[in-house]
Chain A
Amino acid sequence: ESEAQVHDEL
């Protein structure tokens, strides 16, 4: 399960 990647880009 891919960790919910937080969108760190604008």
Chain B
Amino acid sequence: MNIFRFAGDMTHLISIVVLLLKIYATKSCSGISLKTQELYVIVFLARYLDLFTDFISVYNTVMKLVFIGSSLAIVWCMRMHRAVKRTYDKELDTFRHYFLVLGSFVLALLLHEKFTFQEIFWAFSIYLEAVAILPQLVMLQRSGNVDNLTGQYVFFLGAYRAFYILNWIYRFFTEPHFSRWIACLSGLVQTAFYADFFYYYFISWKNNAKLQLPA
């Protein structure tokens, strides 16, 4: 474990806490893409298949349970919670995310570290996570004005993988046989998707103005 990875995990956790806060405090999920949240449930379930077989550390196991539990809770809330589901902007959340699932799985069948069930699903989860934010980014552009908590949620979500890139650079230089090219390349693509969001987020922060994404 290194400081970059720990910072990345904490930033990821903060993004989830901010989203839960928004939903529970405002009893609203307006501006949040249910499709992105569903993709994250698939990402975590596919990635943490080794939850009960490989014990790495208490921290690792606890964080996996937190990520799986929180992503399921958010999807349950947006689909089932009477007050919250009414605020879901279904007509703005129109990205056909099934293609993202299909494309990531096909790519995982082609590009993986080992052709085993667990490795295929691990690579699938890595590729899917890289594109999982797309429905949310498209929805933000459609909805125009972005409320603060939603903006902060997306910001922390993008920042966490940027910390992981620093972690991979650090491990590359400090560990002899470290090679995580699948996670690294996918992480670069994932962070790149946030580039324009980060730009408009920075502008809104600098001008102390509301976050506006160009339609």
A: residues with CB less than 8 A from B are: 2, 4-10
Contact = CB atoms under 8 A, between A and B. Distances in A.
16 contacts: A2-B114, A4-B114, A4-B116, A4-B119, A6-B56, A7-B50, A7-B54, A7-B122, A8-B56, A9-B5, A9-B167, A9-B183, A10-B12, A10-B60, A10-B63, A10-B67
Interface in B63-93: 63-64, 67
Contacts of A4: 114, 116, 119
B9 interface: yes
Interface string B11-36: 01000000000000000000000000
A4 B26 CA distance: 46
Chain A interface, >50% SS class: loop
Contacts of A7: 47, 50, 54, 122
B188 to A, nearest CB: 15
Contacts of B116: 4
A8 B48 CA distance: 11
Interface residues of B, number: 20
A10 B64 contact: yes
B9 A10 contact: yes
B201 interface: no
A9 B114 contact: no
B164 interface: yes
B113 interface: yes
A7 B164 CA distance: 14
Contacts of A2: 113-114
A5 B56 CA distance: 12
A5 B183 CA distance: 13
Nearest to B125: A7
Given A9-B5, A9-B164, 11 more contacts: A2-B113, A5-B113, A6-B50, A6-B54, A6-B56, A7-B50, A9-B183, A10-B9, A10-B60, A10-B63, A10-B64
